[in-house]
Amino acid sequence: MIEYRNLRIALLGGGSVGAHVASLLLEHGDELASRAGAGLELVGVAVRNIDAPRNPPIPAHLLTTDAESLILGADIVIELMGGLEPARTLLLQAINSGADVITANKALLATHGPELFDAAEQVGAQLYYEAAVGGAIPIIRPLRDSLAGDRVKRILGIVNGTTNFILDLMEREGSSLESALATATELGYAEADPTADIEGYDAAQKVAILASLAFHTNIPLESVYREGITAVTLEQVESARKAGYVVKLLAICERLVDAETGIDGVSARVYPALIPATHPLAAVHGVNNAVFIEAEAAGSLMFYGAGAGGLETSSAVLGDLVSAARRHVIGGPGVAESNHANLQVLPIAHVTTRYQITLHVVDEPGVLAAIASLFSEHHVSVETLTQSTGVDAGGGSSDPSATATLVIGTHEATEAALAATVTALKTNKVVRSVVSVLRVEGL
C-alpha cells in the first residue's frame, strides 16, 4: 500500500455543486488519491445554514459557518459559494496563506480575475477554474494548455443553457419567448429572476474569461458588448428557419484588425445571431452548451456537453482538484496567467459581420432600386434580397397601401455602417417599418 502525503482540502459552499463535490470526494477519495499522488482530506465545508437540507447529504461534523477558520492551514481551497463577496476576500486569504485555489465562480473571475491571478502569481500559487465556463465541458484547460502553441482566431460559444433552452423551444415547438421562459422556470432551468441569463450577463462573464485566455489579454467585463434574447420574436425564429438559419445566443470573441486604424485587437461580444442550420452549433439543443474554436493550425474544434448541473459541474471541479494536488506533490511555483499579448479591445462599432434585415416597404415600382442604393450609400453591400409579398422591381401594385416584405442579406460590414443604414431606413419614405435586424455568424 502506497503511503501518500495528505493534503487538506477546504470546501467553501455545500450547495448544488459543493454537495456533489463533497460527496464524490468522500466516496472516491482513494481513487482520486491514486490519480493525484496525494491523500485528499476534506477538512470541512463552509455553509450559511448548518441545518439546511443538502443533496447529496454532507456529514454534519464537516459543516461549519466559519469559512475564515476553515481555510487556515488548508493546502487547497475550493470556492463554490458564488457571488463576489465574501468569495473574493476568502480566496485572497487562502492564496496569501499559501493554498492553491479552485473556483467555479465566473462572476468573480470576470470581475476580479486580474486581482486574484496577480495575488496567486505573487506567492507562486495556482488558481484553477475549469468549472467557471461550460460546467462539465473541458474548455479552460484545452485553451490554456492544449492550444498554447496555436493561435486562436475566433470562438463562438453557446455558453448559457437557459437561453439556449428558450430559443430551442421557440424553434422546435413554435413557443413564444414568454411561454418558453415560463417552461424553463417550471423545469428549474431558469432562476426566479432570469435577468442574468436572458439579458446575456452570464454569457458576457463567460466570454470575458474565454477571450482573456484565448487571446492572452486581460478582457475587462465592461468591454464586452452585450445584448440578450428578450427582443427575439417567434417570427424571427420562424423566418430564420425558412431561410436555413437558427437563432442562437452567441458568445463571440475574435482577433480582428481594425479596418479604420489598422490596430490589431480583440472583440468580445454576446448577442442573438443567425447561424446556418448546417453549422455544428445549430445542433446544440436544450440546456446544452458548446464552444466552437477556430485556430490557425488546429482548424475548427468543438467542445460540447452539459453546461451546468451540480453533479456535472462537480466533474470539472474534481479534475481541478486532482491537478492542484499533483502540483503540490511536484512543488514549485504555479503557472501565471498569460496576458503577454495585451491586445486592444475593439468597440462594437468597429466589428464587421454580416446582417439579415427584414423590412416592410411600400409595394410600388422603383422601391428595390431605392433600397439598394441606400445600402450602397452607407457602404453596406447587399448579397441577397428576397421579396416575399408584393411585386418585384420591374412591376408595381396599383394599391397605394400595399406592403411588400424584403429580406436583405448583406456582405460583411461594420456595425457602424450597419447602424447608419438602419437609421436611414427608418426615415426613408418607402420603408414602412424595419421589422428585424439580426447578425449572421458562423459563415
* Region binding ligand NAP by CB under 6 A among candidate stretches 14-22, 114-122, 263-271, 398-406: 14-22
Which of 124, 95, 122 lies closest to 108, judged by CA?
95
* CA pair distance 422, 426, nearest whole angstrom: 6
Neighbouring CB atoms inside 10 A of 177's CB total 19
Residue from 15, 124, 220, 347 binding ligand NAP (CB under 6 A): 15
CB 256 within 8 A of CB 350: yes
Please state whether 427 falls in left (phi above 0), alpha (psi between -120 and 50) or beta.
alpha
Residues that are catalytic: 206
List the grid coordinates of 129: 477554474
Specify the residue, 70 or 346, whose C-beta has the smaller distance to ligand NAP.
70
SS3 399: coil
List the grid coordinates of 436: 428585424
* Start-end of H helices in 28-176: 29-36, 67-71, 87-96, 106-123, 140-141, 161-173
Residue from 7, 9, 18, 415 binding ligand NAP (CB under 6 A): 18
Specify the residue, 126 or 205, whose C-beta has the smaller distance to ligand NAP.
205
Q: How far is the CB of 158 from ligand NAP (least distance, A)?
A: 15
By CB under 6 A, residue 14 contacts ligand NAP? yes
Judged by CB under 6 A, the chain residues 189 through 248 that form the site for ligand NAP are: none
Burial class (CB in 10 A: 0-12, 13-18, 19+), 204: buried
By CB under 6 A, residue 104 contacts ligand NAP? yes
List the grid coordinates of 337: 496567467
Q: How far is the CB of 48 from ligand NAP (least distance, A)?
A: 4
List 325's β-bridge partners, or say none: none
Residue from 9, 11, 13, 139 binding ligand NAP (CB under 6 A): 13
Judged by CB under 6 A, the chain residues 106 through 165 that form the site for ligand NAP are: 106, 131, 135
What DSSP assignment string belongs to 17-58? HHHHHHHHHHHSHHHHHHHHTSEEEEEEEE-S-TTS--SS--
Residue 247 φ then ψ, to 5°: -90, 125
Q: How far is the CB of 128 from ligand NAP (least distance, A)?
A: 13
* Start-end of H helices in 353-411: 367-377
Residue from 16, 230, 338, 403 binding ligand NAP (CB under 6 A): 16
Radius of gyration of the chain (CA): 25
Q: How far is the CB of 303 from ligand NAP (least distance, A)?
A: 15
* CA pair distance 369, 263, nearest whole angstrom: 36
* Binding track, positions 77-96, relative to ligand NAP; x by CB under 6 A: ---xxx---x----------
* CA pair distance 88, 93, nearest whole angstrom: 9
Residue from 24, 36, 40, 46 binding ligand NAP (CB under 6 A): 46
Judged by CB under 6 A, the chain residues 315 through 344 that form the site for ligand NAP are: none
By CB under 6 A, residue 17 contacts ligand NAP? yes
Q: How far is the CB of 106 from ligand NAP (least distance, A)?
A: 6
Specify the residue, 120 or 440, whose C-beta has the smaller distance to ligand NAP.
120
Residue from 6, 28, 52, 326 binding ligand NAP (CB under 6 A): 52
Judged by CB under 6 A, the chain residues 287 through 316 that form the site for ligand NAP are: 308-310, 313
Specify the residue, 36 or 70, whose C-beta has the smaller distance to ligand NAP.
70
- Where on the chain is the footprint of ligand NAP (CB under 6 A)? 13-18, 46-49, 52, 67, 80-82, 86, 104-106, 131, 135, 308-310, 313
